[in-house]
Structure 1
Amino acid sequence: MIRNPLLLKEFRQRMRTARAPIVVFGYVCGMALFTFFLLYENVQGQLTLLLPQRSEQVFLTLSLVQMTVAGFLTPAFAAGSISGERERRTLAVLLTTPLSPFGILAGKILSSTALLVLLLVVTLPLYSLVFLFGGAVPGEVVAVFAFQLFTILVIAALSVCWSTLVLRSGWSTVLSYATVAWMLVFTGVMGYGLQLVAQRYPLDQFLAGWGSFLLSLNPLWVLALLEAAVTGPPHAWAWFCLVYGGLCVILMTASVWRLRPQVLRFLPLRPEADERDYQ
């Protein structure tokens, strides 16, 4: 994957522009100001009064805000990756290269997440402020960072798949942000709503089960669970990875067929298509 020429080209195009350092600098400054504001509000200017419980709240708030910002930024980098190539009439040239359809998709996914991963890495020193007051342990920070990284990759993969399956960047952007809204907003609202209804009707385990399942698909709730801020199934993150990982596999298979239908010619009931119709 490191030798993927498309990935190297996308890296150079994204990282050698003047916008990349400006975005990184602005993001770090904004998150630093936000972190110091939270610390100051928790102690009211008295550092000796900072308790581990309050520091945990800062750690939770910082990770949730960063996950929300990264989640809504990812489609902006990934939603027009393949559809943009098609609109610029460069997709046919890209398909004539030795790269496989999966290599093209993987290169677009990794390149679209490069800047976002860099934003996560440069904000890691802010989490070290929490260590000063016992608000978190290194294991929690590693788990939160790994889960944020996985979530960004999932959103980028889904956005690239939508960009491949539809014909216009506008529609792929709409579908990508609808997917993010489903993950960050709809699952949380519906999950908590079902759990509130289940509290009024304790015998209805069906509602409680579906409420927990929907919450396990919400990355913000799973992050809070990893930080022990909410109560829930201990392996909810596994359901999150399994469901969204399976969805990515399904859409990636459809995207590979969309780019080059001949790849799936071994399937007995494959739909007939010609890649020239897509180009």
Structure 2
Amino acid sequence: MRNNVKMNPVLKKELRTSMRNVRGSLLVIGYLAVLMLTLCGGLYIQSSYRGMITKNDAIGTFIFLMIVQFALISIISPTIASGAISSEREKQTLDILLTTDMSFLSIITGKLGASLSKIILLIISSTPIFVFLLSYIGINTLGIFGILIINIVAATFVGAIGIYYSTRFKKTIVATVFSYITIFLIYVGPVIMCAMLQVYKYNNGIQFDPAKQFYWYLLISPAVGFMTLIFSQLGISLTEIFGKTLEINFLGITSYMITIIFMIIATILIILLAARKIDPTRKKQHLFNLKKEKKI
């Protein structure tokens, strides 16, 4: 019996070409090499003076390793996605792609899916490294699933940002630069702002919680949401860093769940904007309206 499930043609084509590409293999090798060096270096530094690995050593290395993985995924994903459409323009194949029977939304989702597939491959390939550490730590299955989900959602979110700028700019390098600027403002901006407020608070003796001033700004930061999830699984509180506002639990919805929900909603909106941006009829209609206004 033939399989009636149809794969997105763009995704199918991208998967075929990427699997035959040497750069894909080098990406996986480089990614695993960084994680292995981080693992071995972290365990050696923390346990060298006592000659054995303790639970605290494993926890410290696990936190640092998860931060490194999250940072790598957040850096690699927009790099791959920001050239999805702009590279088609540079090769002069975008017009051919737009004349197919595929909808503009299908083209965008196919390109994003192809980028995301590489990230999922990286996450799966690094599973044995984390299983080794989890044997010392003892995080439950639900916690591991939550960490996996936020990694994939964050990769999709930053990938969608890269796709959008790829539709907006003709050059891949320009799209990549704007992607990183946007991601920096969303990821690191809230942390820097709260750190500056904390310093100002202690230097001037002012009694206020910095997180209250930028509460929602903190919640939309994937970096803060990720750290909140990791620390909550390990029983570590972020109160001293960001204040009590990040320890909310409204009807079972925690702060990192709000971050995940925000990223999902934002990703959908960005994908729709990107699909609208590559519509050639939209630009022609805009030019037609301008000419009509000039004649009047």
- CA distance in 2: counterparts of 1:271 and 1:222, whole angstroms: 42
TM-score (norm 1): 0.84
Q: Which runs of 5+ in 2 are unaligned?
A: 240-245, 249-253, 289-296
The partner residue of 2:177 within 174, 179, 192 is: 174
The partner residue of 1:74 within 54, 73, 77 is: 77
Provide closer, same or farther for how the CA distance between residues 254 and 220 of structure 1 changes in structure 2, counting only shifts above 3 A.
closer
Corresponding letter in the other structure for 1:172 = A
Provide closer, same or farther for how the CA distance between residues 148 and 250 of structure 1 changes in structure 2, counting only shifts above 3 A.
same
Alignment length (residue pairs): 266
Corresponding letter in the other structure for 2:268 = V
Pair 1:237 & 2:237 matched: no
Residue equivalent to 1:201? 206
- CA distance in 2: counterparts of 1:170 and 1:30, whole angstroms: 25
Pair 1:273 & 2:286 matched: yes
- CA distance in 1: counterparts of 2:112 and 2:161, whole angstroms: 9
- CA distance in 2: counterparts of 1:132 and 1:148, whole angstroms: 21
Provide closer, same or farther for how the CA distance between residues 30 and 2 of structure 1 changes in structure 2, counting only shifts above 3 A.
farther
Q: Secondary structure at the match of 1:201?
A: coil
Identity rate, percent: 23
Pair 1:27 & 2:46 matched: no
Q: In the TM superposition, what is the alpha-carbon distance from 1:86 to its structure 2 partner?
A: 1.7
Provide closer, same or farther for how the CA distance between residues 274 and 247 of structure 1 changes in structure 2, counting only shifts above 3 A.
farther
- CA distance in 2: counterparts of 1:135 and 1:42, whole angstroms: 19
- CA distance in 1: counterparts of 2:262 and 2:186, whole angstroms: 12
The aligned runs of 1:1-279 (5 Å cut-off) are 3-44=7-48, 46=50, 48=52, 50-134=53-137, 136-197=139-200, 200-202=205-207, 204=208, 207-228=210-231, 229=236, 230-231=238-239, 232-234=246-248, 235-260=254-279, 272-273=285-286
Corresponding letter in the other structure for 2:276 = W
Provide closer, same or farther for how the CA distance between residues 134 and 254 of structure 1 changes in structure 2, counting only shifts above 3 A.
closer
Structure showing greater Rg: 2
Alpha-carbon deviations, 1:177-214, whole Å to 9, x = none?
Answer: 11222233222211332345456432x56x53233433
Alpha-carbon deviations, 1:42-92, whole Å to 9, x = none?
Answer: 2216464x3323321111110001111111112221111112212221111
- CA distance in 2: counterparts of 1:274 and 1:254, whole angstroms: 19
Q: Residue 55 of structure 1 contacts residue 135 of structure 1 at CA under 8 Å; is this kept in 2?
A: no
Alpha-carbon deviations, 1:199-250, whole Å to 9, x = none?
Answer: 6432x56x53233433323323222211224232342223323433343333
Q: In the TM superposition, what is the alpha-carbon distance from 1:160 to its structure 2 partner?
A: 0.2
Corresponding letter in the other structure for 1:256 = A
Q: Residue 109 of structure 2 contacts residue 271 of structure 2 at CA under 8 Å; is this kept in 1?
A: no
Q: Which runs of 5+ in 1 are unaligned?
A: 264-269
TM-score (norm 2): 0.80
Q: Residue 192 of structure 1 contacts residue 215 of structure 1 at CA under 8 Å; is this kept in 2?
A: no
Q: Secondary structure at the match of 1:89?
A: coil
Alpha-carbon deviations, 1:78-136, whole Å to 9, x = none?
Answer: 11111221222111110111111110000111111222221111111111122232353
- CA distance in 1: counterparts of 2:217 and 2:138, whole angstroms: 29
